[in-house]
Chains A and B, each alone.
Chain A
Amino acid sequence: DTGVSQDPRHKITKRGQNVTFRCDPISEHNRLYWYRQTLGQGPEFLTYFQNEAQLEKSRLLSDRFSAERPKGSFSTLEIQRTEQGDSAMYLCASSSAGLFKDTQYFGPGTRLTVL
């Protein structure tokens, strides 16, 4: 078990471009979360999947953001028409209900810089 992985680790883009990030959760984890973290702040919840179903989206997630988790495995987060305010660390976490009551394990994050 290699933990949660995210790709790319860093992304620099120009304002107005589209970007897509990928998250591979711990195998057999059925819950997957996306969070966003800016400097000096704790992570903020963006969206949540149970298996392939997207069950909740934060008010922070504007129409420019979309997330998918086909077949309940990896997930992608796409940001369309990026803005400078989108610059942040995007974190993915996964968990499995049961014995450990949904402890979330985080990936290394994708650092997005919008110029």
Chain B
Amino acid sequence: EDQVTQSPEALRLQEGESSSLNCSYTVSGLRGLFWYRQDPGKGPEFLFTLYSAGEEKEKERLKATLTKKESFLHITAPKPEDSATYLCAVQAVGGSNYKLTFGKGTLLTVNP
């Protein structure tokens, strides 16, 4: 069964203090690894898709990387508006179902 573990569960940073979130995964075959941002009471907002080990994607202060066992979401010089829950999900190859298996998320708080 596909599994996704995110760490830490919660992270508190000062504005400008860079850090990384971890997503470890177990999947029979990886079709894609997805990062989403979720604000309280809202649906997840798509950030990145990574397909193969070694791949990197960047968007503003965020950079996502992928290895064969884990993914990192690096946050450079975060701002208070980056505060949110960051969700990692995997999509497995095979079959006709493209469902996502999510981790529990990392709650990021950035203090001014």
Chain A interface residues toward B at CB < 8 A: 4, 6, 31, 33, 35, 40-45, 48, 50, 55-56, 91, 95, 100-109, 111
Query: What mask results when residues 96 to 107 of chain B are scored 1 for a CB within 8 Å of chain A, else 0?
Result: 111111111100
Query: What mask results when residues 40 to 82 of chain B are scored 1 for a CB within 8 Å of chain A, else 0?
Result: 0111111001010000000000000000000000000000000
Residues in B whose Cβ lies below 8 Å from that of A40: 104
Alpha-carbon gap, A15 to B68, bound state (A) = 46
The chain A residue sitting closest to B9, CB to CB, is A40
Q: From known contacts A56-B96, A56-B99, infer whether A104 and B105 are also in contact, taking CB-CB under 8 Å.
A: no
Total B residues in contact with A, Cβ cutoff 8 Å: 26
Are A42's CB and B91's CB within 8 A?
A: no
Are A33's CB and B99's CB within 8 A?
A: yes
The chain A residue sitting closest to B95, CB to CB, is A56
The chain A residue sitting closest to B102, CB to CB, is A42
Are B104's CB and A41's CB within 8 A?
A: yes
A52 to chain B, nearest CB (A): 14
Q: From known contacts A45-B101, A48-B97, A48-B99, infer whether A104 and B43 are also in contact, taking CB-CB under 8 Å.
A: no
Residues in A whose Cβ lies below 8 Å from that of B44: 43, 91, 106
Residues in B whose Cβ lies below 8 Å from that of A43: 44, 87, 89, 100, 102
13 A-B residue pairs with Cβ-Cβ distance under 8 Å, sorted by A, are A4-B43, A33-B99, A35-B100, A41-B104, A42-B4, A48-B98, A100-B49, A101-B31, A101-B49, A101-B51, A102-B91, A104-B46, A104-B100
Are B102's CB and A95's CB within 8 A?
A: no
Q: Is residue B25 contacting chain A, with contact meaning CB distance below 8 A?
A: no
